[in-house]
Structure formats: C-alpha cells, structure tokens
A and B are shown apart, each in its own frame.
Chain A
Amino acid sequence: MRHTLAVLVENKSGVLARVAGLFSRRGYNIDSLAVGVTEDPTISRMTIVVRGDDHVLEQVTKQLNKLIDVIRVTDLSAEESVERELALIKVTVDANNRSEIIQIADIFRARIIDVAAKSITIEVTGNEDKILGIEQLLRPFGIKEMVRTGKIALTRGGKSV
C-alpha cells in the first residue's frame, strides 16, 4: 500500500536531513520525496510517497510529527487530491523514427523541449500511470537518460492541508 503524505516543515537548513534520517533509521521505504517552498516563505512542503501498511503509515506520521521542525503531516491518500509528477526523458532518435516519437509525445500531451541530431528530450506531466505509460512506449527507441521530480499533490476543492 502506498500513501502520499503532505508534510509542512520549517524552511530551515537541516530539516531535509532530519526527515530523511528518520526514514532510513526506522527502515521506512520512500518511493519519492519532493520538496519546495510554499506560499509562506518560512514553510516548505514535502510530498512524500511512502510504502507500507496502516501500521507503518501510523508510525511514520507520528514519528514525523515528533520532529520539532515538522509543522503538520497530512495523508493525502485519505483525501480527494490532485497529484502530478513531471519527467524529462531523453530518447535516442534517428531520421526514421523521429516522427513516430513525436507522435507518441503528442498522444501523451507531452512537450518536446530539446531536439538534437541524435536525441529528443520530452517533458511529460501527469500521474504516475501516465509517466509509466510513455516511458514504456519510448523504451524500445532507447532512453538515454530520464529524470523524475517525484510526486507533488494538493487536496481538491477550497480546503488546504
């Protein structure tokens, strides 16, 4: 079972180390972690995708809350939320398959952001399935390099965490 946690933390140096250290020390599995500053410059928001059953999730949440620099932890999996991830994929191309690759990008509403003689870099945004989908279709052409941001998420509607 995977859970998406929104973790509001003090925007201070060392906080990432505290959170990451907690996960490794207690043996929790992180699938992804994305962090950036929020509308309030003194607060950063981490979106952490963690794997584990309810017991693990409960422990993760409580242990995170114990960190003095953690302000709030919300399990977004328990809420209606919108989730996105961004990936950049550099694909090997040649004259023969360039148009086919561009077509695939189109289908996924992905954007071509860099073109070179032997490669194309595609930017794709979406949920995990979509990113996995395009990755699978592009793989046969040869993925030279790929980078993902990790998931970020917000609750739906007017409410905030």
Chain B
Amino acid sequence: MTGATERMTGAQAFIECLKKEDVEVMFGYPGGVLLPIYDALYDADVRHILVRHEQAAAHAADGYARATGKTGVCLATSGPGATNLVTGIATAYMDSVPMVAFTGQVPSFMLGNDAFQEADITGITLPITKHNYLVPSADELPRIIKEAFHIASTGRQGPVLVDMPKDVTTDELDFSYPDKVELRGYKPTFKANILQIKKAAEEISRSVTPVIYAGGGVISSNGSSELLAFAEKIMAPVTNTLTGIGSFPGKHPLSLGMLGMHGTKYANYAVQECDLLIAVGARFDDRVTGKIESFAPNARIIHIDIDPAEISKNVRVDLPIVGDAKGTLANLTKYSKQCKSEDWIKKISEWKVKYPLHYINSDEVIKPQYILEQIHAACEDAIIVTEVGQHQMWAAQYFSFKEPRTFITSGGLGTMGYGFPAAMGAKVGRPDKVVFNIAGDGSFQMSSQELATVVENDIPVIVAVFNNGFLGMVRQWQELFFDHRYSHTCISGSVDFVKLAEAYGALGLRATKPSEVRPVIDEAIASGRPTVIDFVIEREENVSPMVPAGAAINEIMDLEVK
C-alpha cells in the first residue's frame, strides 16, 4: 500500500476503487443491500446506467468490454439481482471476456441463514467465473477489487465476481488503493518460449499447405495486425472462428472466412487438406471441428494459446506454444520464412470461385443475406452485434469485417437475448461507431425491455429484427432432422415491433419488400435515434452450407435453396 489513507465507508471506497481502475461506466440495478452503494453513487462522478433487467447489465458490460478491450463492470443486488446476472456472467466466461461483476449480499452476520434475498452467488458462479470473492470485511475491499480487475483483464481474460455483504459497504476503513497485486497462485505465462517459437518456424518452413486458424484470443490480445503480418510473411491462408471474426480482414486474398458447421466450404476443405494447422487463440470447439477424429487429418498442429489447459484438450497438438497471441505472432513472424505455398494458394482461389457462399435473391421477399449486404454497403465500419440463431450465422457469413472488435457475438454459450444489451454496451464504449444489433424475432424478445434504457440514456443503437416468425435455427433442424415437425418454433404474430419501439419512444421502421431495405437502413442511421427495424423476411430460409452434426467438416453441404 502506498500513499496517505483516508477514512471512509466501504461504499465510498467502492467508488474510489472504480475510479482508480479508470472505470468510465457501469451497468447496474439497485436493491435493498445496495442502498449504501447507490447512495454513494448519487453524487459520484462515475457513470452508472440503469438497466431494466440485471441480465442486460451483465451483457452490456460484456459488449462494452468486447468493443473497447477494457474491463466491463456490472452491479446487482443480492438474491434475485445476483442470480439474474448468471447468464451474462456465463456468456462472458465462455468467450473469455474481461468483466467484473459486483453483487450486494446480506450482512455478514446473516450469511448462511436463508436471510431475505440471500443467494450463495459465489457458490452459484464458481464454475462460470475465472475467480470470485465474498468480501470478508471493509478493510479488504480495496485489495479484492484490485485483484478482481487484475485477474479479469490478464492471462486468459474472464469474468470475476465480487460479492459484498451490506456491512462491508457501511463499515469504515482507512482507504488506500494497493498499487500491486500479490497472488502467488496466479502467474499467467505471457511470453512464449523462444525454443518453441524456433521449432514452429521450422515446421512452417517445411509446410506447403499451411492454414492459420485464428480465434477470439487474437482479438483479446489486440494481435490482429500481428496476425496480418504473420500470414502475409509466411503466405498462409487464414480462417476464423465465430469469435475470431474481425481479427483478419474478410476481403483479404488470404482470408478463408469462417470455418466449421456454417463456415465456408473452402475454409473447411483447406483445413481438411492442410499439412500444417496453426491455431492461434482458438480452442477447437465442437462447432468448429465437427467429427473430431477426422479433423485436419493430414496436419501437424501448432497451437498458440495463453491458457495451457487449452493445449491438447480436444485434439492432439504436435507443438504447443503457451503465450499471448500478439507477442507470439510478432516473434514467430521474425523467425519464420515464407512457405512454398503458391500452388496451395492457387488451389484455394479456385475453390473460392467454385464454392462461394451464395443465396438466391428475390424481388418479392426480403432475403436475410441481402439485408446484411445492404447494411455493409451503407456502413461497412459499423459494429455488428448479434443475437443467436440463423441471423447470427448470416451476419458471420455475409458481412465482411475489416477490423477487430467490430463483430460481437455470443459464441461459446450461444445466448439469445445477448445482442441488444451487448450492442448498448458497445455503443456506450464506442459512441463514434454506428452499432447494429442483428436480431432474431425470438432473441430480441428476450431483452427488448432494454429499449427503455437506450431511449432514456440516448444510446442510439439500431436493432435490425430479422423477422421470420420462427425460432428459425431450431426450425431449420426440425425441417432437416425431424421431418418438418415444427414443434413450438412458430412465433409469428408475437408483437408489432414498430409499435413496440414507439411505445418506448424509440424509432420504429418496417421493411416488407427488398426495395425498402436500403431506405430504412439509411433512415435509421440518419436518425441518430435508438431504432428498431422490423425486416419481414423469407420465413423458411435456411443457413447454408452446413456440416451435419457428427460429420467431418469437409462433408459440408449446400441446403436446398427455396
């Protein structure tokens, strides 16, 4: 500890800690045990955005973090407030997003007594946090908050929860903020072993059909320009995971787009035929690998990851490199030479021509892919946040991303209801950007109450509802694998999205014909207001191509186009 101390309450110390951590905004919702903290917030110069459901506070903190690279912060009261955060915390955990979630808790002396609004939130979030704390006394609050931010934002990033019993916020302490953390059990490896790097360079020099498989870790480590330099130097094509999208420019000649279940054919073919797969900040998720035994069957695998536990978790790795993506890629670029990959690159270009992503456009009904192309044409620099479902996959396929942190989606947990509040968080973090929430009609209804929040706080996000009247992704599986038996997936006529928007004071727009698509997009952007666009789209469009569950990823097939 350094500097002079000052006598204050835990609640005041909480505010001071946030200031020390340069927290510019938090998303929260009050309650009984948080009264002292909210009282301190009343005249504190820390921005607090009042959401309408705690789950949205967690998603907003997550979206803010993914858009800015800073740690997101959310706050909820004890019991139901805390449990409402759970889905948001789990979402952040699965995608390794830096977040600190604060919860109020019943006073220490009541803990364990089933007191009013008591929930064992540290117990509940044990498997979905990187670490969590039940603060034992006001004195320990500054140290714990310091540690929480440190743990959340370093190594493999992730959410940390800090549970604060009410007396911790009312008791007094001598405040000083530690300038260092001392955690003997936490020393993440950051710098990769140089011997491993040299070995990797050797592997690369022998490869003639290399593929780089880049995931969200590249974005977390801010390593996108290093990835570009590396790929160009060794002349290897790059495929992205869903959360890795944006780490490599989509229009680059070496880009293969996304791989896996709804990836491009050429990405999947390339992975299956490559002799060297260089995985960076990716974790061989089952949606990527398909049938794991036949994944990249001819490849030697180099795996670069900051988390040693990811190495050889799902596939055998020939050469592990533990370290952060940015530094490791920079180093690897230094030691590597260009592969003899001319023929390979040529072959891939041929595949790209022969097997492009495609859909059949229409003059009568709006095709979802067309909307994405039009949004891209209107505003290619937008931040695109998605919900979960077919629309999410179309966004990943048909919007070509140039930059990291412009595609924000719940990959690991696949959380419907994530996109709208995350878009709100992204817009708060990047007010300079146009932010779209690509939403399904189902997903949007899981968080639409946040229209109140964006209107009240003037956060002009644009919700593009891909209104197919279905829980489309599930319907697609029912169509393909359950004999068209659409059990409980039809949601047509749920609500008039335009009126819903208007009821909250947002702008509501609708497009029912292809010719109306671009005008409403332009109108929404020009309005500068929180907007919901109801795009009434083809009802039974399928996401194509597709790897059937359990198949190898080169068994990717086109679905019959309607």
Residues of A within 8 A of B (CB): 9-10, 14, 17-18, 21, 25, 55, 58-59, 62-63, 65-71
Interface pairs A-B: 5 shortest CB-CB: A62-B309, A68-B131, A71-B185, A68-B186, A62-B308
Contacts of B130 in A (CB 8 A): 68
CB distance from B6 to the nearest CB of A (A): 28
Q: A10-B185, A14-B122, A14-B134 are in contact. Are A66 and B127 (CB under 8 A)?
A: no
B488 within 8 A of A: no
Contacts of B562 in A (CB 8 A): none
A–B complex contacts, Cβ < 8 Å, 30 sampled: A9-B185, A10-B185, A14-B122, A14-B134, A17-B123, A17-B126, A18-B126, A21-B126, A21-B127, A55-B312, A58-B312, A59-B309, A59-B313, A62-B309, A62-B311, A65-B308, A65-B309, A66-B307, A66-B309, A67-B131, A67-B185, A68-B130, A68-B131, A68-B151, A68-B183, A68-B185, A68-B186, A70-B185, A71-B184, A71-B185
Contacts of B309 in A (CB 8 A): 59, 62-63, 65-66
Contacts of A17 in B (CB 8 A): 123, 126
CB distance from A160 to the nearest CB of B (A): 16
The interface residues of chain A, by DSSP majority, are classed as: helix
Q: Which residue of B lies closest to A22 (CB)?
A: B127
B383-402 vs A, Cβ < 8 Å mask (1 yes, 0 no): 00000000000000000000
CB distance from B284 to the nearest CB of A (A): 14
CB distance from A45 to the nearest CB of B (A): 14
* A62 to B123 alpha-carbon distance, docked (Å): 22
CB distance from B185 to the nearest CB of A (A): 5
Q: Which residue of B lies closest to A55 (CB)?
A: B312
Contacts of B185 in A (CB 8 A): 9-10, 67-71
Q: Which residue of A lies closest to B185 (CB)?
A: A71
Contacts of A21 in B (CB 8 A): 126-127
Residues of B within 8 A of A (CB): 122-123, 126-127, 130-131, 134, 151, 183-186, 307-309, 311-313
* A13 to B558 alpha-carbon distance, docked (Å): 55
* A9 to B307 alpha-carbon distance, docked (Å): 20
Contacts of A69 in B (CB 8 A): 185
Contacts of B312 in A (CB 8 A): 55, 58
Q: Which residue of B lies closest to A64 (CB)?
A: B309
* A10 to B182 alpha-carbon distance, docked (Å): 13
* A68 to B160 alpha-carbon distance, docked (Å): 11
Contacts of B186 in A (CB 8 A): 68
Q: Which residue of B lies closest to A24 (CB)?
A: B127
Given A62-B309, A65-B309, A68-B131, list of 14 further CB < 8 A pairs? A9-B185, A10-B185, A14-B134, A17-B126, A18-B126, A21-B126, A55-B312, A58-B312, A62-B308, A66-B309, A67-B131, A68-B183, A69-B185, A71-B184
* A86 to B78 alpha-carbon distance, docked (Å): 44
* A59 to B185 alpha-carbon distance, docked (Å): 17
**Chain B CB within 10 Å, residue with most, of A18, A65, A68, A71:** A68
Q: Which residue of A lies closest to B123 (CB)?
A: A17
* A67 to B129 alpha-carbon distance, docked (Å): 10
Q: A58-B312, A59-B309 are in contact. Are A25 and B127 (CB under 8 A)?
A: yes
* A132 to B444 alpha-carbon distance, docked (Å): 61
* A62 to B156 alpha-carbon distance, docked (Å): 13
Contacts of A62 in B (CB 8 A): 308-309, 311
Contacts of B131 in A (CB 8 A): 67-68
* A14 to B312 alpha-carbon distance, docked (Å): 29
* A158 to B429 alpha-carbon distance, docked (Å): 56
* A21 to B312 alpha-carbon distance, docked (Å): 22
Contacts of A67 in B (CB 8 A): 131, 185
Contacts of B184 in A (CB 8 A): 71
Contacts of B123 in A (CB 8 A): 17
Contacts of B151 in A (CB 8 A): 68
CB distance from B191 to the nearest CB of A (A): 18
CB distance from A77 to the nearest CB of B (A): 20
* A70 to B186 alpha-carbon distance, docked (Å): 8
* A29 to B33 alpha-carbon distance, docked (Å): 40
Contacts of A18 in B (CB 8 A): 126
